[in-house]
Structure 1
């Protein structure tokens, strides 16, 4: 997946935004909470995943536990361009959903996410 396609997919999710943080990382957020991170060049990816996906991806060697975020079930990919775009888009949707679910009802409603 290209960095441009990644940014388009991430920012296409409801209420998503991006900020540059920690020097030069692009941090994708919903309601002020991060759900994905790329480096400036968009070549690496850290993303929030479910517990099952965390185990599957790390045990299979497709990803490794993300530095500083592994206990929160984040994984790290060394090469975004080697990943399937549809699969990455699915991980982004899941990450966004997992993080948005932890927001307050008022915050979800403000972002148009309330059900």
Structure 2
């Protein structure tokens, strides 16, 4: 199931603890603890937007089909288009990593309430 479809995107994201969805900005947005960690844009070419580390940002934005996410770029967010060279597993990795980066910014109390256990925490 493709992460670039609403059905595939939702199925994957729902597996991550404490997530919720909202439709805003003309996109299907996934949040953890009320903070955006990814969104799916389906108008035109399907795309997934994720937060990434500075190193990943530099690597990913050098690839065709991946660029700075509009309105998010200064905070190291990338837009991965369906036609990018990344495999489905690689997109899933970056989506999960985005979740972890955003969830790490939540309070320890909220992470505990949401059932979030982060690697190395």
Aligned to 2:82: 79
Deviations 1:41-68 (A, max 9, x none): 6812111111111100012334100011
Q: How large is the RMSD of aligned CA atoms in angstroms?
A: 2.1
Paired residues, number:
114
- Taking CA–CA contacts closer than 8 Å with sequence separation of 6 or more, which of the two structures ends up with the larger relative contact order? 1
Q: Confirm or deny that 1:11 pairs with 2:14.
A: yes
Aligned to 2:71: 68
Aligned to 2:48: 45
Relative to its length, the structure with more helix (as a share) is 1
Give the TM-score of the pair, scaled to structure 1: 0.86
Give the TM-score of the pair, scaled to structure 2: 0.82
| Residue 93 (structure 1) aligned to one of 81, 84, 96 | 96
User: Which structure 1 residue ranges, 5 or more long, are not aligned?
Assistant: none
User: Which structure 2 residue ranges, 5 or more long, are not aligned?
Assistant: none
Distance 1:57 1:82, change over 3 A: closer
